[in-house]
Every structure is written in C-alpha cells, then in structure tokens.
C-alpha cells in the first residue's frame, strides 16, 4: 500500500499543476458487467475536453446483484456521450469485476 501511495504522489509531482487546471465533466450511463449483469451509474471524468481519453471515477447500481459498485476506469469522451472501461468492486459479493459502458456526457467543452 505504501508503494501505491508513493507512486501516486510521484505522479502528482510530475504532472505539476496540469491536473488542477482541468475542469471535470460528468456522465450518466449503462454498463455491462462481465459475468452477465447490467448496471446504471454516474461518472466523473478528470477533464471536459471532447474527443479525448480521460480517467473516470463512478458508482453503479447492479440490477442483478442488487448492489452498489464503486468504479475506476478510463473513458473516451465526446461532446455528448462517453464510452468507458471500468474496474469495479461489488459491495455485496465483495469481489472485483470489469465492465464496459456507454452514456450521456455533461459539462464538456463546446
């Protein structure tokens, strides 16, 4: 865990103020969770620049399992939609899972 924190701190130092200057954007979407479940959720993207790859944090509600799924992942952001690949944690099953999603994007640059 200590190495992960050190790597995160080193990344923040290398990025300097660039990460702070980015404006976040948001999304609402639907995710297929590998293993046969579907989920609806929200995403926060680290930048609002359309036609770009962005980092994403979010939370889903899995319909089949009836559980919450906090997520981290990468997304392709367009003017009004996103495509993402996420790593999630099923709070009921207490297990990691993967998903691919699509949804509406808001607060992107004109």
Integer CA distances (angstroms), 48 to 20, 79, 105, in order:
13, 9, 9
13 within some domain: no
3-state secondary structure of 79: coil
pLDDT digits (tens, 9 = 90+) for 41-86: 999 999 999 999 999 999 999 999 999 999 999 999 999 999 999 9
Question: How many percent of the chain have pLDDT more than 70?
Answer: 80
63 within some domain: yes
Residue 13 pLDDT > 60: no
Question: How many independent structural domains does the chain possess?
Answer: 1
DSSP string, 48-63: --SSEEEEEEEEEEET
Q: Which residues contact 68 (CB under 8 A, 6 or more apart)?
A: 59, 60, 61, 62, 91
73 within some domain: yes
Cα–Cα distance for residue pair 53/48, rounded to 1 Å: 10
27 within some domain: yes
9 within some domain: no
What predicted TM-score, i.e. pTM, was given to this entire model?
A: 0.78
Residue 1 pLDDT > 90: no
> Angle CA(91)–CA(68)–CA(105) in degrees, nearest 5?
140
Q: At 74, which CATH number?
A: 3.30.1300
55 within some domain: yes
54 within some domain: yes
Range of the domain at 75: 22-106
5 within some domain: no
Question: How many percent of the chain have pLDDT more than 90?
Answer: 75
């Amino acid at each position: 865990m200590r190495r992960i924190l050190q790597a995160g701190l080193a990344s923040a130092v290398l990025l300097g103020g660039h990460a702070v200057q980015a404006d976040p954007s948001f999304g609402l979407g639907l995710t297929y969770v590998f293993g046969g479940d579907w989920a609806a959720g929200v995403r926060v993207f680290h930048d609002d620049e359309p036609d770009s790859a962005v980092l994403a944090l979010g939370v889903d509600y899995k319909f089949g399992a009836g559980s919450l799924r906090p997520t981290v992942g990468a997304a392709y952001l367009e003017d009004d939609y996103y495509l993402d690949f996420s790593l999630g944690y099923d709070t009921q099953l207490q297990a990691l899972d993967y998903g691919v999603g699509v949804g509406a994007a808001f607060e992107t640059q004109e």
